[in-house]
Amino acid sequence: MMIPMIIVLETGITEKEKTYIRDFLTGQGLQVREIVGEKDTVLGAVGQVSLDQRTVELLPGVARVIPISKPYKLASRELHREDTVFSVGHVTVGGSRIVIIGGPCAVESREQILEAARAVKEAGGVMLRGGAFKPRTSPYAFQGLGFEGLRYLKEAGEATGLPVVTEVVAPGDVEAMAEYIDVYQIGARNMQNFELLKTVGSMGMPVILKRGLSATINEWLMAAEYLLASGTDKVILCERGIRTFETYTRNTLDISAIPIIRKLSHLPVIVDPSHGTGIRDKVLPMALAGVAAGAHGLIVEVHPDPEKAVSDGPQTLYPEQFRKLVHDVEALAPVVGKEVARLPENHHLRAAVGETVQFTGDSCRVAFQGEPGAYSEKALKHYFPEGRAESLPCGSFEEVFDAVLKGKADWGMLPMENSLAGSILENYDLLNLNPDVSIVGEIKIRIRHNLIAHKGVRIEDITEVRSHPQALAQCDRFIRDHRWASIPAYDTSGAVADLSRDRDARHRAAIASDEAARVWDMEILKEGIETNPNNYTRFAVIGRRENVNVSKPNKATIMFEISDEAGSLSKCLAFFARHQLNMTRIESRPIHGKPWSYSFYVDLDLPEDISTFEGAAEEVKGAVKGFRILGMYRV
C-alpha cells in the first residue's frame, strides 16, 4: 500500500527497537516524526515511496499501523490527536490560551513601531506584528522598509518583551530574517508559493500561515503540510477572510473555518478580523466571533495614529479600541473554557507578589482539593502560565492549607463561591483560622459538567450516577429526565476515579469535568449537562503571607467581627463609603462558640492609590472587635 501511515508503538518499547524502526523507515526514503501523546507514542511516516503496511506491522515494538486517509498527513488530527501547543518566547500558543497579537500593518519608522509596541503591551497584547516587506497590489504603493524595518521591529520587541511576527515574501530573505524575528508570516497572496513554504519550513521556527484569498480549507491545510514536511512543527493557521461576491467588506471572514480546522487538524488556528473585514468598527465583533468559534488567538492591526497609517488605516484600531478588544475577549474567554495569554511580567500573580514568582524558570507546585481532573485543578492550570504549575492533589481543604504552610506547595487553589450554589464558607473559615496564609489572586472558571462512563457504555445502559452533591444538584434536570438514581460522592473527579477502577460498573456514570474524563481515560457520553449554563466558580489562590509582597493590588478581602449593638455594621460600612471604596461583596458568618455573633467577609475594589484603603482599614479596625485583611491581590 501507499504510505503515509501512523505507526503506534507498544507502551513497553525499548529505545533500541524504536531506533531500529526509525532507521528502517528512513532507510526506505520516508520522513519520520515522533509524537509523544498522553496515552501513546506514535511515529508518523510520510514520503513518496510505497511500502507494504504489513512489513511495518511486523517490526518489533509496533502495536499497529494506521494509514492516514487525508491528503494532508502531518497536519491532520489523525496523526496527532491532541492539540499542538508550543512556545514563542514566553508565550504559549494553542491549548486553553488565547494569544492576542497586535501591531501596525507596516513598520513605518522607529518611533512608530516603538510606540505601537508599547500600546500593544499596555493593552495586554502578547506579540507584536508589523510588516517590513509589504506585498502590495500596486507597485507604486509603499513596499515596506525592508531590513531597516526589521531592525526597528526587533528593537521594539526587545524594548517591550513582546515576541515579533512579520511577513516574509522572498525565499532569498528567509535566512537573513531569522535573527530579527520570532515568527514568520506567510501572507495570503503567498499561501501557495511552495518554494517560499519549503524555505520557511526548513528554518524550524514558528510560522503564521494565512489562508489564501481564494483557497479552500483543503488547499490551506496542504500549504501547512509543506511547512511541516520541510521541518517545522510550529505552524499557526490564520483565517483572514476570503474573496466572495460581497463587496461591502474587504473580504468575507469565514468563521466556520475555525471549528472545521479544529476538527481536521491539531494545529492552532487564529483569526485576523482586520483583513477579514477591512472596516475598523467591524473588527471587535468579528474578533469576539472568532474566539466564540474556538480560535486560539487573534492578530489585529493597531496603530498609534491610524489616520496617518501608510497602509490599511481604515481597518486599523486606535490603541484605546485595541484595549477594549483585549478586555472584552478576557470577559468572553471563560465562557469558552479559555484564558487570555499574558506575558509573565503581566501575570496577575506576578503583579501582586512581585519577583517572588519566577514564571520563566522552574515550575511551582500548587495544592488543590480533589483527585486529578478536579475543577480546582482546571482552575490552577488556567491561572498559572501553561506548563508552569505542578499540581498537588489533597484529600481536604485543610490539607491544602497544610501543604502551603509547610512548604509542600508554593500556592493553593481554593473554590470560594459558585454562581449558583453560593459561598464555600468552609474556606472562608479556614482563611480566618490560618493568619499565616493570605489570598494572592483569584480566577473564575465556567463549570461545564459532563456525563462520564466506561468506553462503549451507552446512555440507555445507565441506571445510576455519582458525583459531588453540588454537581448532582446542578444537573438535576438531566438526571430526573433519565430517572437515574443519584448517589453522592466526596468529589467530582473522585467519582470518575472510582468508576474507572470498577471495570464491571457499566450501568453507572459519573459527573465531572472533561479533564477528569481525560485523566482517568473514560468516555464523555454527553457534554454540558448542567441545568443552568451560567455556572461559574470563583477560586482564590493562596500563599504563605511571608512570600507576599503586594505591589499593585486592585482587590482586597477583609474580615471583621462587630459588637451586638445598634448601627455597628452601618458604622463600618460608612468608613468605606467615606473613602469612596467600592464594596463588591459582603457575607456574614456565625462565629463558632459565640452563638448569635457574626463575622463579616467583605470584598473591595482598590483604587490605584491604596493609601485610601489603608486609611479606611485603620478606621474600621478601631471600631470593631476582630479585623483581618485576608488578602490584597490583583484580578
By the criterion CB under 6 A, which residues form the site for ligand PEP? 105, 131, 187-189, 210, 240, 275
Where does 293-402 show beta strands of DSSP type E? 297-301, 339-340, 364-369, 389-394
Residue closest to ligand PEP (Cβ):
187
* Alpha-carbon gap, residue 136 to 105, rounded angstroms: 12
The nearest distance, CB 132 to ligand PEP, in angstroms, is 11
Minimum distance between the CB of residue 278 and ligand PEP, rounded to whole angstroms? 10
CB closer to ligand PEP, 314 vs 615 = 314
Among 537, 560, 613, 627, which one carries the catalytic annotation?
537
Q: Choose between 249 and 554: whose C-beta lies nearer to Mn ion.
A: 249
Q: Least CB distance from residue 483 to ligand PEP, whole Å?
A: 54
627 a catalytic residue = no
Long-range (24+ apart) CB contacts under 8 A made by 249-252 are: 249/276, 249/277, 249/278, 249/279, 249/282, 250/275, 250/276, 250/277, 250/278, 250/279, 250/315, 251/213, 251/275, 251/276, 251/277, 251/278, 252/276
Sign of CA dihedral 55, 58, 62, 66: positive
4 interacts with, out of ligand PEP, Mn ion, none, CB within 5 to 8 A per kind? none
| Contacted by 210, from Mn ion, ligand PEP, none: CB < 5 to 8 Å by type | ligand PEP
Q: In whole angstroms, how close is the CB of 250 to ligand PEP at the nearest point?
A: 9
Q: Considering CB distances under 5 to 8 angstroms, the limit depending on partner class, which of Mn ion, ligand PEP, none binds residue 288?
A: none
Partner that binds at residue 545, options Mn ion, ligand PEP, none, CB closer than 5 to 8 Å by kind: none
Name, in order, each residue with C-beta under 8 angstroms of 291's C-beta and a sequence gap of 6 or more: 98, 271, 298, 329, 332, 333, 336, 338
Quick one: 263 exposed, middle or buried, by C-beta within 10 A (0-12, 13-18, 19+)?
Answer: exposed
Of 312, 386, 491, 515, the one binding Mn ion (CB under 5 A) is 312
Min CB(188)–ligand PEP separation in Å: 4
Q: Which does 240 bind (CB under 5 to 8 A by kind): Mn ion, ligand PEP, none?
A: ligand PEP
User: What is the C-alpha to C-alpha distance for residues 313 and 493, in angstroms, rounded to an integer?
Assistant: 51
Provide the β-strand partners of residue 556.
604, 632
Question: Coil, strand, or helix at residue 127?
Answer: strand
188 binds Mn ion (CB under 5 A): no
Cis peptide before 319 (omega within 30 of 0): no
Catalytic residue (one of 539, 560, 613, 627) = 539
Q: Is 371 in the site for Mn ion (CB under 5 A)?
A: no
- For residues 152-188, one letter each, b for 16 or more C-beta atoms within 10 angstroms of the residue's C-beta and e for the rest, the string is bbbbbbeebbbbbbbbbbeeebbeebeebbbbbbbbb
Minimum distance from CB of 134 to ligand PEP (Å)? 7
Shorter beta-carbon distance to ligand PEP: residue 282 or 544:
282
105 vs 572 by CB, closer to ligand PEP: 105
Each residue 95-124 as x (binds Mn ion by CB under 5 A) or -, in order, gives ----------x-------------------
Question: Is 537 one of the catalytic residues?
Answer: yes
- Say if residues 571 and 623 touch (Cβ distance below 8 Å): yes
Site for Mn ion in 49-78 (CB under 5 A): none
Residue with Cβ nearer ligand PEP (210 or 348): 210
**DSSP helix/strand/coil, 44:** strand
Residues acting as catalytic residues: 537, 539
Positions touching Mn ion (CB under 5 A) are: 105, 312
